[in-house]
Amino acid sequence: MKKLEEIFDDKLLPMDEAKRQYYFIDAAKDIVAEKEAELGRKLTFCVNTFGCQMNARDSEKLVGILEQIGYVEGKDEDSDFVIYNTCTVRENANNKVYGRLGYLHNKKKKNPHMMIGLCGCMMQEEHVVETIRKKYSFVDLVFGTHNIYKFAELLVRALLSDSMIVDIWKDTDQIVEDLPVERKYSFKSGVNIMFGCNNFCSYCIVPYVRGRERSRNPRDIVREIEHLVEDGVVEVMLLGQNVNSYGKNLDEPITFAQLLEQIEQIEGLERIRFMTSHPKDLSDELIETLAKSKKICKHFHLPLQSGSTRILEKMNRRYTKEDYLLLVDKIRSKVPDMAITTDIIVGFPGETEEDFLETMDVVEKVQFDSAFTFIYSKRTGTPAASMEEQISPEVVKDRFDRLLAKVQEISQKKSGALTGQVADVLVEEINGQDASLVTGRLSNNAVVHFPGDAGLIGKIIQVRLNECKGFYYIGEQV
């Protein structure tokens, strides 16, 4: 087996970052092949993803590299290489990871070839990495969100080393294009259009763990989507923490609406989704683009967070209750059938009953198609964590329950709106409960089940929506 110094010989290492990583993929391939020969079997991996769509997309990049190296997908945590791609947006996400690590330790005692890797947002927090070094020293590889493109290189180090490899960067301005990716679905894909966040909402850890906002070059985005379409993709989800501020920091600035117009032109692409939109940057230009587009889906995710202008200010969201309501009116006046969904936090420090009722009022007025409701979670290092007047758990629980009941009542009421109509459904999978049915999504993201077989997966089919059962439709092909 080659030694670490031989592989990391400066004379051999390519200067170009993508080429450098392909060099390490080749080096890792050799190491893995030797291990396979020794064991008489393939090495397996399992990538466990927590958190948002950004992390899901990052995991696809990890899987792409692992498969190029020669690993094959294994059975859950019995695999030879288990990776947790972590989220730290709320406390319970962190606790889940610590809980799983104890379990993994037992597995590792039984399989001496097993490697454990941790990456993602949680690893960008110093106290987490300290805890892992101290309490979980059996972990093999720890890296962060900024250097994920160096995965092959770090993996080579971990494969050839007996001690924990830790590599965390505080920030980066680099975007490395053209590394391998393995998609979870053949027909749809996430596409990063930007990384990081500059908004510093006072409760949120994301800007600290994902770094400053960086937009990808529109040419790289369009080229990636063209390749995806050639490879069978019909739906893309454009990803960014605040897609409405896309392009502002490029050398040749362009707006998100202009990017959407370029993507709309890509032949063979059928559906465009995006997330997440910040209300403060939602332009009239974007609403016009939505109204004109034939491909942008009829689903807008517009996080509200709170309906109280006073709390919104403390959250540093930079819009008022009235601004938000006006935006919703504008969207609906131009695109009446647009489904609107949201995120709401309950129990932000200093939230009074009156503030909470303002949130309930917005929920009532907007009639969201669905809403993700969260209990405020204190994130160390954010401004809100040191605010006085943290709300007692009993009060928060009571408000949360009332909000959830209201949100559910409204989404139930709204969910059957298309009953009787014929609509386009992108078929995603065979139904988990009944194999004679397939499951797909409408443009507005509603779920539809109808009789069909695996041959329909990835196709857009016209379906009559016969009946609405709570949160999904039952239909038939027309």
Distance (Å, whole) CA 363 – CA 239? 26
Q: Which residues bind ligand SF4 (CB under 6 A)?
A: 197, 199-201, 204, 206-207, 241-242, 278
Residues 165-194 within binding reach of ligand F3S (CB under 6 A): none
Q: Which of 149, 274, 376, 450 binds ligand SAH (CB under 6 A)?
A: 376
Q: Give 426's strand partners.
A: 441, 460
Angle value at C-alpha 118, between 41 and 374, nearest 5 degrees: 125
Distant-in-sequence, close-in-space partners of 378: CB < 8 Å, separation ≥ 6: 91, 384, 385, 390
Q: Which of 43, 46, 54, 181 binds ligand F3S (CB under 6 A)?
A: 54
241 lines the binding site for ligand SAH (CB under 6 A):
yes
21 lines the binding site for ligand SAH (CB under 6 A):
no
Question: 36 contacts which partner out of ligand SF4, ligand F3S, ligand SAH, none, CB within 5 to 8 A by kind?
Answer: none
Question: 207 contacts which partner out of ligand F3S, ligand SAH, ligand SF4, none, CB within 5 to 8 A by kind?
Answer: ligand SF4
Distance (Å, whole) CA 15 – CA 21? 10
Q: 62 or 438: whose CB is closer to ligand F3S?
A: 62
Per-residue interface string for the shown chain with ligand SAH, residues 185-204, x marking contact by CB under 6 A: ------------------xx
Positive or negative, the CA dihedral 417, 421, 425, 428 is: positive
Question: 55 contacts which partner out of ligand SAH, ligand SF4, ligand F3S, none, CB within 5 to 8 A by kind?
Answer: ligand F3S
Q: How far is the CB of 121 from ligand F3S (least distance, A)?
A: 3
DSSP one-letter code for 452: -
Burial 384-420 (b: 16+ CB within 10 A, else e): beeeeebbeeeebeebbeebeebbeebbeebbbebee
Q: Which of 123, 179, 206, 297 binds ligand SAH (CB under 6 A)?
A: 206
Q: Give 82's strand partners.
A: 46, 116
Q: How far is the CB of 245 from ligand F3S (least distance, A)?
A: 16
* Nearest alpha carbon to residue 330 among 362, 278, 282: 282
55 lines the binding site for ligand F3S (CB under 6 A):
yes
Q: Which stretch binds ligand SAH (CB under 6 A): 40-48, 333-341, 363-371, 375-383?
A: 375-383
Q: Which of 77, 178, 343, 398 binds ligand SAH (CB under 6 A)?
A: 343
Omega of the bond prior to 276 within 30 degrees of 0, cis? yes
Q: How far is the CB of 359 from ligand SAH (least distance, A)?
A: 12
206 lines the binding site for ligand F3S (CB under 6 A):
yes
89 lines the binding site for ligand F3S (CB under 6 A):
yes
Q: Cα 104 to chain center, whole Å?
A: 25
Q: Which stretch binds ligand SAH (CB under 6 A): 246-254, 325-333, 376-384, 467-475?
A: 376-384
Q: Which stretch binds ligand F3S (CB under 6 A): 86-94, 265-273, 305-313, 398-406?
A: 86-94
Tokens for 402?
């009332």
Q: Which of 46, 66, 87, 141 binds ligand F3S (CB under 6 A)?
A: 87
Question: 150 contacts which partner out of ligand F3S, ligand SAH, ligand SF4, none, CB within 5 to 8 A by kind?
Answer: none
DSSP one-letter code for 261: H
**Cβ pair 94, 128 in contact under 8 A:** yes
Q: 209 or 366: whose CB is closer to ligand F3S?
A: 209
Q: 158 or 201: whose CB is closer to ligand SF4?
A: 201
DSSP one-letter code for 202: T
Q: Can you list the pairs that 411-416 forms with residues at least 24 positions away whose Cβ atoms lie under 8 Å?
A: 411/368, 411/369, 411/370, 411/371, 411/471, 412/470, 412/471, 413/367, 414/367, 414/369, 415/369, 415/446, 415/468, 415/470, 415/471, 416/468
Q: What is the largest CA-CA distance in the chain?
A: 68
Burial 105-144 (b: 16+ CB within 10 A, else e): eeebeeeeebbbbbbbbbbbbeebbeebeeebeebbbbbb
Q: How far is the CB of 381 from ligand SF4 (least distance, A)?
A: 12
Q: 62 or 159: whose CB is closer to ligand F3S?
A: 62
Distance (Å, whole) CA 84 – CA 100? 9
Question: 90 contacts which partner out of ligand F3S, ligand SF4, ligand SAH, none, CB within 5 to 8 A by kind?
Answer: ligand SAH
Chain residues that interact with ligand F3S, rule: CB under 6 A:
51-52, 54-55, 87-89, 121, 206, 209-210
